[in-house]
Amino acid sequence: MRVAIAKTYKLFIGGKFPRTESGRYLIARSNRGRHLANYCHASKKDFRDAVVAARKAFPQWQDYSAYLRSQIVYRIGEMLEGRAAAFAEELTLSTGCSEKDALAEVHVTVDRFVHYAGWADKFGQIFSSVNPVASPHFNFSFPEPTGVVVAIAPDKPSLLASATIIAANIISGNTVILVTSDRYPLPTLSLAEVLATSDVPGGVVNILSGQRVELAPHVATHMDVNAVSDGSGDETIAATLQAGSASNMKRYSAWHLTEREWGSAKAEDPYRILDTIETKTAWHPMGV
């Protein structure tokens, strides 16, 4: 009788799949206690490596045209669509949901990438402006990416919420470090395999698994992180992130959504893109 190979889910940093430098691993179990797989328990050093990778990728990614970023995010949706059955099975095993609900979540996740891909070359037109000024100048305001963003995923819906926060942040030119759900990390860790084959440059999206409450202080105090998108729904984590962000002027935004709302229009609000962009203003003399 053949014994199936038990998969060990790794981290996703800089477009590669390293093991945690700490050597620590956690066990993913089903709702019935079945041992599904081992996955990496990310450390402070892993987080620092992810920040370095995200910072290195940022200049190139922000310089990509909005159209090109749109095409790449759309490609993520295409690749995920091709693996819908496998992701649905993983969601069912991990969370205990029905096969129908799991497949529905995967399909909404695909649609969510397509939705935000469509906004990549449009939000700049909507959120920019020509401002009236009392001098002979043109005054323009326009959105630019803020830089390295850390995203914290909720437990449910683990795949859809992770994809939503990733897409909403990277279409503007930000790079992202996603900290997965504590309870259901496997679907998001598998999403890394889709990202690795979807034309996304290495370092644009990095994915860490482990304990959110352990990583939160490192996220809050790291001086090379520009913003935090917190979808955890955990008050303790939120307090830690906000306290640290106040000391170094890191932008903090919370996705206050219920499990049902992650699948609704509330999670598709284009104003969420504003959470992690900076509005820059330029002056230009008239007639020059």
For 50-68, write each residue's pLDDT tens digit: 999 999 999 999 999 999 9
Residue 192 φ then ψ, to 5° = -60, -35
Question: Quick one: pLDDT at residue 100?
Answer: 95
Provide the H-helix boundaries in the chain: 44-63, 66-82, 84-95, 99-119, 123-127, 158-170, 186-195, 212-221, 235-248
Domains and CATH numbers, the chain: 12-17+50-285 (3.40.605.10)
The helix (H) or strand (E) run that includes residue 27 is strand 25-29
Evaluate if residue 157 carries a pLDDT over 90. yes
pLDDT above 90: residue 32: no
Contact 166, 206 (CB under 8 A): no
pLDDT category at 139 given cuts 50, 70, 90 is confident
| 156 has a pLDDT exceeding 70 | yes
Size (the chain), residues? 288
For all residues of the chain together, what is the average pLDDT? 93
> Does this model's pTM top 0.75?
yes
- What is residue 288's predicted lDDT score, i.e. its pLDDT? 58
DSSP of 221-236: H-TT--EEEE----HH
Q: CA-CA-CA-CA torsion for 147, 159, 187, 118, nearest 10 degrees?
A: -60
